Structure 1
Amino acid sequence: MHFRKFWRYGKRKKEVSKPLELPCEIEAIRQKALRGYHLEQVLWGKILLDSIYVPADPETAIIWFRMAAQAGYGPAHNMLGRCYYFGWGCAQNYQQAIAHYTLAAELNDDWGRYNLAIMIMRGIGQAPDLPSACALFQAGTQAGHAKSMNVLARFYEEGWVVSKDRKKAIMLYQQSAQKGDYRGQHNYAVWLAEQGHIEEAVTWWRQAVPQATLDVLHAIQDVTQHLKHNSIESLRNIVDEKINSNKNTIKLR
C-alpha cells in the first residue's frame, strides 16, 4: 500500500515537470527564435509576456527582446521600450523607455515612433514638446500607421501646433477608421452622427467595440444616449455587454 502511494506521487511529480506541449504554430515560433530569427525572437518574447500557452515570464521575455535589439531590429527596441515604460520584468524607467523608443523610431518602426510621440506629447519622462510629437505623428501617418493618423487628426481638430482644420481632421479620422484603429472609428462615427448619418455611424461603432478600451466604450455610451435610431439600442446593448466583460476580466486578474 505504501509502495503504491509513493509510486503514484512520483508519477504525478514527473507529469508536472514535463515541458509544456505547445501548438505547432507556437512551437515553430520558438524554434525559429532559437535559430536567431529576429521577428520570431520578438514574437516569442511577446508570448512569454502574456499568453495562454506558457506561464508569464517577463524577465525572460526581455532577454529575447534584447537579442533582437542588439541586431538592430526596430520592433525589438519598441518592445524593450514598452517593458521599461510599464515595468514588465524590470524596474519602470521612463528614460530607458524613451531611449529604446527613439532607437525604434530611428529604425523606422511605426509603433516605436508612435509610442515615443505619445510620451513627448504628454510630457512623460521629459518636458512636453508638441511640435516634435506632431512631426512624429506626421511621419507615422505618411507611413500608413492608423493610430498616428487618429492623433494627428486631433492636432488639426484642436489647432495644436498646426492651423485648425476640421476638414483635414475628419479625413484623417476616416483614414484611421478604415485602417482599423478603434479610436479613429469612434471619432469618425461621432462626426457622422453629428451630420445625421446615424446608420453609418453605428456601423463604425460596431467595428470599434471588439478592441475598444473602457474609456472609448464609455464615450460611445455617452454619445449615443440621446440618439434616436432603430440600431442604437442594439449597439448600446453590445457596448454594455463589452463593458461588463472587461470588468469581469479585470476582476479575475
Structure 2
Amino acid sequence: MLHEAAAAGNADAQAIYAQMLLDGVEVPADPPAALRWFVKAAAQQHLMALNMVGRCYDLGWGTAPDKARAAECYRVAAERGLDWAMYNYATLLALGNGVAEDKAAALMWLEKAAAMDNAKAINFVGSFAEDGWAGPRDMAKAADCYARAAAGGDFRGAFNHARMLGAAGDVDAALPWLRQAGATGNARFVEQAATWLSASDIAGFSTRGVDALREGATC
C-alpha cells in the first residue's frame, strides 16, 4: 500500500518508502532506489526528503559521495526551516566539507536548530562554546548545552554532560549519563568514549566510568 501511494505521487509515502529502502526495513535494502524516491519527494518540496537526498550524497548512500551537492541540499532545506538540515549544513560548514569552512556561519545555523530543540545541535553549540571555535570559550554555556542535549536524548550530549560532571568531581551524578550514552550510542562511539575515560586522571572516574558506559551498551 505504501509503495502504491508513493507511485501515485504522495510525497510523504515516497519519503517513508525511501527510508524503508535505505534501511532495509520490510523490503530488501536498495540505497540507489531509496535515493530515487527521496528525489521524487524532494521535487514536491518535502523538506526531510531533500535533507535525505543530501545525506545520500554526503555519505555515499546509493551514489558516489558529493559533498558539494549534499551541502546545497542541506542549505535549501535549512533555509526553508528544517532543523535537521540546519544541523547537517552546519556540520559541513564547520569542517569545510563541500563548502568553504565558515565556523561563524556554522554556529549561526546550529543556534537556529538548537532554538527548535534539536538535541544534536544543542550539543554541537556546547562544543563550540567549550573549544572557542567561533568566539571566546564559555564553559558555563558549554555545560548548560551539554545538560540540555543529554536531557534531549543525544548520546554525545550525555557523554559530554557526564564528562563535565566528572571534571567537577561529581562522579556519582555522571555515571547514569554514561550509561545512557552507552545505551544509545553506536559501537564506534562507545569505544572512543571508553578510550577517553580510560585515560582520565579524575579520581574514581576512569574505571567506574568505563564500567557504566559498557553496562549501558549491553542493555
Once the two structures are superposed, the pairs formed by residues 169-188 of structure 1 within 5 Å of their partners are: 169-188=142-161
Aligned to 1:238: 215
Distance 1:203 1:44, change over 3 A: same
Aligned to 1:206: 179
The alignment partner of 2:158 has SS state of: helix
Are 1:217 and 1:239, in contact at CA under 8 Å, matched by a contact in 2? Answer: no
Q: Which has the higher contact order (CA 8 A, sep 6+)?
A: 2
Distance 1:200 1:34, change over 3 A: farther
43, 48, 55: which one pairs with 2:21? 48
Once the two structures are superposed, the pairs formed by residues 1-253 of structure 1 within 5 Å of their partners are: 29-225=2-198, 227-228=203-204, 232=209, 234-235=211-212, 237-238=214-215
Q: What's the offset of the Cα at 1:161? A: 1.5
Match of 1:67, as an amino acid? K
Identity of aligned residues (%): 31
Are 2:68 and 2:97, in contact at CA under 8 Å, matched by a contact in 1? Answer: no
Are 2:182 and 2:213, in contact at CA under 8 Å, matched by a contact in 1? Answer: no
**Gaps in structure 2 of 5+ consecutive residues:** none
The alignment partner of 1:216 has SS state of: helix
Q: What's the offset of the Cα at 1:162? A: 2.3
Match of 2:212, as an amino acid? L
* TM-score, normalisation: structure 2: 0.88
Are 1:174 and 1:184, in contact at CA under 8 Å, matched by a contact in 2? Answer: yes
Are 2:179 and 2:217, in contact at CA under 8 Å, matched by a contact in 1? Answer: no
- The worse-fitting range, judged by mean Cα deviation, of 228-237 and 118-127 is 228-237
For 1:111 and 1:214, locate their aligned partners in 2 and report how far apart those are by CA, in whole Å: 23
* TM-score, normalisation: structure 1: 0.77
Q: What's the offset of the Cα at 1:241? A: 5.6
The count of residues paired between Structure 1 and Structure 2 equals 215
**Gaps in structure 1 of 5+ consecutive residues:** 1-26, 243-253
